[in-house]
Chains A and B, each alone.
Chain A
Amino acid sequence: MDLLLIAWRYLVARPITLVSTLSVTVGLMAIVVVDSVMSGFLGEQRALIRALAPDVSIELDGLDAAQRAALASQLAADPDVTTAAARLDVSAIQYCREQRSFLAAPKLGDSYFVNLVGLEDAELSGPLNHVLGATSPAGASAAAQSFLGTSTVARPADPFWFDLDDEWWQQRLPLDRRHRGDLVPVLFGRHLAYQFDYRPGTVVTLATFRGVLQAGAASPTASREFVVVGTFATRDRAFDDTHALVPRAALGDFAGLDTDAHEQAVWGRGTPIELRDRLRRALAATVDPAAIRSWEDRRALLLGAVESERRVMNVAMFFVVIVATFSLFVTLHQLVRRKTRDIGILCALGASAMRAGRLFLLCGLIVTLAGSVGGLAGGIALAHWLNPLLDLVERLTGFRLFDRQLFSFKNLPVQIEFGRLVWYGIASVACGTLFTLLPAARAARQDPVEALRHE
């Protein structure tokens, strides 16, 4: 009790300890804000790297129809799987049928590659729904009038299979295509649609090779008309620039493949890695474990780069912790020098020199704890209100820290990761304690008689 009382009285009697506390606080606040923004950016980067990838994908090559059916029913029965759907990938060429703008990059008669992703409704209306944007067809008639302003006119719950016979849609089709009923819907990446000036109702001709290419043999080709029903946008512009989504069954038919799916996309509970491991165990009898991969497995290289950014930042943050807590060493060193006589007094009252050492350790601990808790709380608050704060600064001074034009998101991405922040708190308390330890050890070694003679 003596230690607590004296430590407290020491600290409140000395404004300099407040400076130490503040330096820890400010240091930790900076760390929390930087970490949260960095986490936000890294999160954006992960989303970008991920694009449309499902949690886990299972390669279907080498499985016969019976095995595929067994796999599908097994996935459907799995309580951890929320969505399972087959996918098909086909490359195609899009033919620029009409040049609407002379400024637009694609010229009349040019043809461009596009990767067609054959998806099922379950994925697009489920876990991938967010790429479609928010416009519902109920509001589409009004909103779709300016196509680029409305990212999509697809019904989020049922994006492809809206009623093409619906009069609203028919109005948008070229006259000769109306009421034919053989058009296949397609969603283009927003950026691609923008370049080609695709709008809802635009009919696009896509061509592809049918079947499997064979050297020396002429390959049959097929072309078909698709009608643009909307756009999608992932975080990855390059992906959006080169991809289009079509119904899987129609794509299989179009491409004339002897398979109707390349992979099984699986979404489920827990992290993708956990889901992958669970599926590998559960499906061991049917599927080679190597064919079951999480999206992180498939993008390991790029994600590795992100992780190394994170590691570099951790090291940088550690130095910030050291700098922020270093002032404790100075403060405590000075305190011990000033209070040497008190050590002798405490000893005369029956304390051991060890106890005097602990007194200063406690002083340092109070300072770091107060600084760390304050810094964490302040940092979290600052990170939480960072964007409104930046807006306010911009409104007051005209200074803009974050240029929205450069990014695909409107605000600074902020992601507060409490688990990591706790570690920063622990690191700062540990560092502070370490810096306190040296002066405290000096106090503990102090000879009480010399301390009493100390002026």
Chain B
Amino acid sequence: MSDPIPSSAPAIRARGLVRNFESIGQRLEILRGVDLDVAAGEAIAVVGRSGGGKSTLLHLLGLLDRPDGGELAVDGVDVVRAPRGERDRLRRDRIGFVFQFYHLLPELTALQNVLLGAMIGVSPLDWLGRRQDEKQRARALLERVGLAERASHLPSRLSGGERQRVAIARALLRRPALLLCDEPTGNLDERTSAEIEELLLGIQRETRAAMVLVTHSLRLAGRLDRMLMLEGGRLHAVEAPPDQPAAAVASMV
């Protein structure tokens, strides 16, 4: 679990990221020049108004989308100019996603969902050779997130919190250097949110993966190394007094 990620390169280095959308003939400038540095192993929170472009930013950082302008290096690789295959590989091996709506494949069991990342691009023959190791690791991850007993259950038979635990285990399977979490507790009740928070933060400390976490929960945001606010298409640092961050930010959002 605690395999350190051997990477000294900054997890993210973004300069002037721009992303526009066309909507019914109208041009929406969602990101207007985002600068962001995330050191290896650093955990930052991104907060901001709904519709501000937080998810859009995460998609850019996670190489699911391409910026319309600006520079972006992930794990030391210039991903704007990298060929598609390289971006796919980077996304598979170095980046883990956790989404608000869990995004598990409903037809696969919890264990299979976790294993999926290890299967992608592996021929059935190679898979036969690796299956036992990967399965063991997936089971260990499920145990770490507290779901060892539910490995063979389909997502439809798991609660929201349990599904998010599976999603977290899935994100960790490839030992990512960068965890991107888009409102991981946004769909959960108070108590479950707190549990998932503990889990995520604990895991981040154990794996020393860099983390960019989008959240509306200021309590959670305040527990990370840094808090940034996305406003007007740009990121701003939020300086909050450590004893009462929530109140300070709440006044700004």
Contact = CB atoms under 8 A, between A and B. Distances in A.
Contact of B64 (A13, A355, A448): A448
A355 B107 contact: no
Interface in A350-387: 350-352, 355
Interface string A387-430: 00000000000000000000000000000000000000000000
B239 interface: no
Contacts of B122: 1-2
Nearest to B180: A348
A209 interface: no
Interface string A311-351: 00000000000000000000000000000011011111111
Contacts of B123: 1
B240 interface: no
A449 B95 CA distance: 16
A41 interface: no
Nearest to A451: B64
B103 A449 contact: no
A6 B170 CA distance: 16
Chain B CB within 10 A, most for which of A4, A346, A352? A352
A436 B92 CA distance: 27
A9 interface: yes
A217 interface: no
Interface residues of B, number: 33
A350 B103 contact: no
Interface string A1-42: 110111001100100000000000000000000000000000
B89 A348 contact: no
Interface in B77-110: 84-85, 88-89, 91-93, 95, 97, 99, 103-108
A263 to B, nearest CB: 63
Interface stretch (B33-41, B113-121, B199-207, B222-230): B113-121
Contacts of A349: 91-92, 97, 116-117, 120, 170
B59 interface: yes
Nearest to B106: A13
A454 to B, nearest CB: 11
A350 B91 contact: yes
B124 interface: yes
A351 B88 contact: yes
Contacts of B143: none
B108 A355 contact: no
Contact of B119 (A1, A342, A347, A348): A1
A352 B117 contact: no
A350 to B, nearest CB: 2
Interface in A73-119: none
B93 to A, nearest CB: 7
Contacts of B59: 449, 452
B137 to A, nearest CB: 15
Contacts of A2: 116, 119-122
B127 A13 contact: no
A348 B103 contact: yes
B112 A5 contact: yes
Interface of A: 1-2, 4-6, 9-10, 13, 341-342, 344-352, 355, 448-449, 452
Interface of B: 59, 62, 64-65, 84-85, 88-89, 91-93, 95, 97, 99, 103-108, 112, 116-117, 119-124, 126-127, 170, 174
20 contacts: A1-B119, A1-B122, A5-B108, A5-B112, A9-B105, A13-B106, A345-B103, A348-B62, A348-B64, A349-B91, A349-B97, A349-B116, A350-B88, A350-B91, A350-B95, A350-B121, A350-B174, A351-B88, A352-B84, A352-B88
